[in-house]
Amino acid sequence: MMKTIESNRVWLTLLLLVFSLYISAQETKQTVALSPEIGNQLLKLQKLVEQQQYAEAQTGLSKLQQKKNLSAYENAQIWNLTAYTYYLEENYSSALKSYEKVLDSGDIPLALQQSTLNVMSQLYFTTEKYDLALATVKRLIEIVPDPSADTLVLLGQAYYQGGRYAEAITPIKQGVEKQQGFGKTPKENWLLLLRSCYYETNNYQGMLGVLKDLVKLYPKDDYIVSLAGVYSELGDFKKQMVLTEVMYEKGLLKNTSHIENLANLYLMHDLPYKAAVLLETEMADNNIEASGKRLELIAQAWFLARDDDKAIPALEKAASMTSDGELYLRLAQSYMNVEEWEKAAANIENALNKGVKRPDSAQLMLGNTYINQKKYNAAKSAFESAAQDNRSSNAANQWLRYVNNELQRRESLEQEIELKEIKENELLKNSSQG
């Protein structure tokens, strides 16, 4: 806001300085609009203003204001310099009243009316009287046959500053399009103002178009960041991912949340390997902290990338930093995938001790690890625990039938071996006696 006010002040000062040049031109031309007497006196008073002798200048101007038989144009220029002097004294209220006197002078050139209303609107912006700024810009447009792009944007700015964001969009767009119609590039601050209007009205589709123009005409990293955010709001996550990746490669993503966001975008688009490498690289470079949640995210990425050997270390670290049994269960699953049955069983037991959402499912997993270790009695115990939950009873009972059959087979086999050993022993005994 302060930048806008300062730029307005600079612009206003430059505009008002045109006044001195105009008087000089009038004096040189000896036009009837400004008599030599009045022109000379105004030039002298202007020099006092330039020397910052404002009180002396105002005294002289007050005397000129009392003169009779002044032409409308002479009266207007006297009040114009009066207003300018008040402006330099930062007496904006008196400056605005004096500019109204300029407009009340009668038959004055259209250009002077336009410049006066323009200056007044800028002063109202400076003093944050946005309703009056809007009214003044509307007065300006009424007397301008074909408003310039600057004037149209000024109207939009007045609506915007007054909180009337939806109404601001049309004149700003008209100003931008008019500028483009002349083959000129719209000013950056015009596009930024239009973007703000769309943002305030939750019009992300409109923001998208403006940000594309900003990236094209005034390429800046901030605009790329904003464009990626708009794609997210519109649900176009693929384009958001592409832009976010570009920003990362350019070294623009310093914020931890932005890096995590890119990792999640990779996962969303079935690029788990990229997600895992990104997070591990940033952790190795100490750009992001190796928290339990991030380690879990790395493990998830490696798991989805079907690389359990790399998922396991991340899960072990993450599990050690929390009391969450679910993490130990996921770690166990990774160990099962690489057929590390003992470690899988140990982590399932750990998970059950810490508590999990579905103990029955965990018991099914545990039973499977024991089967693969041929520990059928332990497997039977696990499946019996799982069978107590209706959600797993069918699967558990099927496994129990398998385990019981296997136990019976083993028992029969052991009996056969035992009988065979007895027979062999008897044969040996008989042969030795013979």
235: left (phi over 0), alpha (psi -120 to 50) or beta: left
Q: Count of alpha carbons within 13 Å of 386, Cβ hemisphere only?
A: 25
pLDDT at residue 418, rounded to an integer: 65
Fold of 1-145: 1.25.40
Write the pLDDT tens digit of every residue in 202-224: 999 999 999 999 999 998 888 98
Return the domain boundaries, the chain: 1-145, 342-428
Query: What's residue 222's pLDDT?
Result: 87
Query: Residue 106 has what pLDDT?
Result: 87
Residue 326 to residues 17, 36, 117, 352: CA-CA distances in angstroms? 75, 94, 70, 9
Q: Does the pLDDT of residue 24 top 80, yes or no?
A: no
What is the SS3 assignment for 216?
A: helix
Task: List, in order, residues 6 or more apart from 209 with CB less than 8 Å away.
Answer: none
Determine the pLDDT at residue 215. Answer: 93
**Could you count the other beta carbons within 10 Å of the beta carbon of residue 122?**
20
* pLDDT at res. 433: 61
pLDDT, tens only, 42-77: 999 999 999 999 999 999 999 999 998 889 999 999
Q: Which of 245, 246, 295 is nearest to 269 (CA)?
A: 245
Q: Assign 32 a pLDDT band (cuts: 50, 70, 90).
A: very low
What pLDDT, in 10s, does the model give residues 86-96? 999 999 999 99
Average pLDDT of every residue of the chain: 87
Q: How far apart are CA 99 and CA 121, in angstroms?
A: 11
Confidence of residue 28 (pLDDT cuts 50, 70, 90): very low
**pLDDT of res. 419:** 63
Write out pLDDT tens, residues 219-266: 888 898 899 999 999 999 999 999 999 888 888 887 888 899 999 999
d(CA 277, CA 252): 18
